[in-house]
A and B are shown apart, each in its own frame.
Chain A
Amino acid sequence: MALRHFGAAAAFALTVGMGVSPALAATEIQWWHAMTGANNDVIVKLANDFNASQSDYKVIPTYKGNYADTMNAGIAAFRAGNAPHIMQVFEVGTATMMAATGAVKPVYKLMVEAGEKFDPKIYLPAITGYYSTSKGEMLSFPFNSSSTVMWVNLDELKKANVEIPKTWPETFAAAKKLHDNGHPTCGFSGSWVTWVNLEQLSAWHNVPLASKANGLDGFDTVLEFNGPVQVRHLEKLVELQKDKTYDYAGRTNTGEGRFTSGECAIYLTSSAFFGNVKAQAKFNFNAVPMPYYPDVKGAPQNSIIGGASLWVMGGKSAEEYKGVAKFLTFLSDTDRQVYIHKASGYLPITKAAYEKAKAEGFYKDQPYLETPLLELTNKEPTENSRGLRLGNMVQLRDVWSEEIEQALAGKKTAKQALDAAVERGNIMLRQFEKTAVK
């Protein structure tokens, strides 16, 4: 008994003793993220800078695995009543997060309640549109955004005497030429097959992927990507796959090495590929806007983003939310956004930061970092190009990929494959609608 008293007393003394240091008085803000390598350094630096800038709050970043792992960890933690304050969620998890009313705290509400100065207009609408309701209320805070661009190997193009293509017909012609001139296994290719060839293609040509503004206006959305533009595009890919003028490189980004190794001279993937290209490519390269079909009215429209945003989890105290709001204001600072942009290659999220980087002449040496911004801001976003919000998106993409693969393997026609992808996807959307909190 005496011993136990002693232990309690010692613990008490220790707490009191340490309580003198102001660091412990700070309210802790847990930040779960999925960034590795150089991007992890950026996160750590942001947290350290914020912690050094004031003494009331302390942001603690924790790496939780890849995007899906981080999200699953957050969901599991929420179910156990132990969610972090801020969670980085990839763009395809947006609908799941948004459907979880009560589990998340919408950013626009948070900022108002915490009394932080917050003007949604300072952010790039092409980016915030993805994370906002149809009324323009920002639900999550954009953090790292990218878009699809066309990477070109300038040396190989020159060798084959090919101009950088701007439209799809030009791209097909260029790929044929490359194919005949030393690229027998790949004229052109790309990663994230559904993101590039369905989602971005639809936005870029101002045709719907799904009803209700691609799901932004409600979960009772149905898929509509079996229209003429998408079918025609897939038909072309199927045709070119036969002699490997186009060569399918997988559902995710595992095929990107085919660009950096020089095997494919034209490659469509995320602008976030830039770090790897810079480190590995032994040739001159550039990233140019995605090709378009010139006979489709309104094309090119604007592209949509990839990447992730920061979601604020529900059920925390007012004091903690104040700290979170202060941290988001801290991140919105122009200089800080310029820093994030330069250090990670992801897009700046505020207009001011973009202007500043441009004024500094940042894009003169690295024009490929401006390309995704030019695509995103190409035109005022429409119903079809504001963003996507479909439930179970990770799985939806797998189902769509399955059908596209069937078409490319010659087991189904392009039309049959897209019809099946729509039909199977709709069943999953109805399933999601049933479980979404009303």
Chain B
Amino acid sequence: MQKQAIFQSKLLPYALVAPQLAIVLIFFYWPALQAVIQSFLLQDAFGLSSSFVWFDNYIELFKDAAYFEAIVRTFFFSFAIAVSSLSFALLLAVMADKPLRGSMLYRTLLIWPYAVAPPVVGVLWIFMLHPSLGVLARYLRNMGVDWNPLLDGNQAATLIILAAAWKQISYNFLFFLAGLQAIPKSVFEAAAIDGARPMRRFWTVTFPLLSPTIFFLLVVNIVYAFFDTFGIIDTMTRGGPGTSTVTLVYKVYSDGLLGGNLGSSAAQSVILMVMVIVLTGIQFRFVERKVTY
């Protein structure tokens, strides 16, 4: 095969990719590099003094037991958020896929929550479940339930997971619905003629054919749970009670932006970045094998 068939000049292909490369370098690699540099520095908030401290920021982190707790908690949260939002979205999508009257309206309504920003989601849930502001919370209290996520860490964690998963359901729903509609109807009909019941049809036909979508969404959801949930945590619990809702990304935010400790915050971002790269790598290396395209 001739490799030079299209481009006569050696430079032309490079020139054509250059704009794209420039954008990637400026908007992705440059900030990442900045974070790496910052993570080796000890600097005050105003940037008046800075000293190079090698790996001190990292060493401090790994000496901190709370940091390991945050790592474990983040994995648990991500898993819980991804699984609950994926399964619920799939359920909704399968139901919305049925020929129903007014299904367009139904689908549109299900997609709406995606347009809501994470902090707004937090506020919405606060108005329902905050022990002193929430409508539902007051109802629970009157029913005699001791609902107080301000002191009960498990309740607070549940609240964060619910809110974060809820926000992601719409997005997942959208992809699942598209995935379901891409499956040829003839396959179902054939299965039905062979006598497969709806549940069996779902697990043996729909689910495997949806697997590329599920895999894609799994990656997206885990990245979302890792990076995009700090707004929800900040508005709802600020990491409390105790440290029961401090995740890695919330720690980056609170140490860097609230605490002005840029070095440690940068070191945490770098670790987080590496973690997501490794995680995504694992997913593509091992999980993807089970996916049938």
Contact = CB atoms under 8 A, between A and B. Distances in A.
Contacts of B283: none
B139 to A, nearest CB: 13
Nearest to A261: B132
B153 to A, nearest CB: 7
A251 B260 contact: no
A103 B150 contact: no
B183 interface: no
A392 B260 contact: yes
Contacts of B261: 392, 395, 431, 435
B238 A435 contact: no
A247 B150 CA distance: 10
A249 B130 CA distance: 10
B152 to A, nearest CB: 7
Interface string B158-177: 00000000000000000000
Interface string A397-438: 010011101101101000000000000000010010011111
Contacts of B141: 185
Contacts of B131: 249, 255
15 contacts: A96-B45, A99-B44, A103-B46, A254-B132, A392-B261, A394-B258, A394-B259, A405-B240, A405-B241, A406-B242, A409-B153, A435-B42, A435-B43, A436-B44, A438-B49
A322 interface: no
Contacts, number: 97
With most chain A CB atoms within 10 A of its CB, the pick from B131, B150, B255 is B150
B150 A248 contact: yes
A160 to B, nearest CB: 20
A86 B157 CA distance: 41
Interface in B237-290: 238-243, 254-255, 257-261, 264
- 9 nearest CB pairs, A to B: A395-B259, A405-B241, A435-B44, A100-B46, A258-B132, A103-B46, A255-B132, A409-B151, A406-B242
Given A72-B257, A392-B259, A434 B151 contact: no
Given A79-B47, A392-B260, A394-B259, A249 B150 contact: yes
A276 to B, nearest CB: 13
A436 B43 CA distance: 8
Contacts of A72: 257
A68 B258 contact: yes
A398 B45 contact: no
A248 B152 CA distance: 11
A409 B242 contact: yes
Contact of A408 (B42, B132, B151, B243): B151
A68 B44 CA distance: 16
Interface of B: 42-49, 126, 130-133, 141, 148, 150-153, 238-243, 254-255, 257-261, 264
A401 B46 contact: no
Interface residues on A, range: 35 or more
B49 to A, nearest CB: 5
Contacts of B153: 409
Nearest to A79: B47
Contacts of B260: 75, 96, 392
Given A96-B45, A255-B132, A401 B152 contact: no
B contact face: mostly helix, strand, loop, or mixed? loop
A401 B151 CA distance: 11
A39 to B, nearest CB: 22
Given A250-B150, A392-B260, A408-B151, A257 B133 contact: yes
A75 B132 contact: no
A260 to B, nearest CB: 10
Contacts of A78: 46-47
Given A72-B257, A392-B259, A395-B255, 8 more contacts: A96-B260, A100-B44, A249-B150, A254-B126, A255-B131, A402-B242, A406-B242, A437-B44
Nearest to B130: A254
Contacts of A250: 132, 150
A34 B275 CA distance: 37
Given A72-B257, A254-B130, A398-B238, A248 B151 contact: yes
A33 to B, nearest CB: 19
Contact of A395 (B48, B132, B254): B254
A405 B130 contact: no
Contacts of B243: 402
Contact of A398 (B42, B43, B254): B254
Nearest to B246: A402
Given A392-B259, A398-B238, A249 B132 contact: yes
Interface string A175-210: 000000000010000000000000000000000000
Contacts of A398: 238-240, 254, 258
A398 B264 CA distance: 17
A102 interface: yes
B46 A75 contact: yes
A79 B42 CA distance: 16
A429 to B, nearest CB: 12
A242 to B, nearest CB: 11
A394 B238 CA distance: 12
Interface string A300-339: 0000000000000000000000000000000000000000
Contacts of A248: 148, 150-151
A169 to B, nearest CB: 24
Nearest to B146: A244
B283 to A, nearest CB: 33
Given A100-B48, A254-B132, A435-B43, A405 B151 contact: yes
A217 interface: no
A102 B264 CA distance: 24
Interface string A230-256: 000000000001000001111110110
Contacts of B242: 402-403, 405-406, 409, 411
A103 B48 CA distance: 8
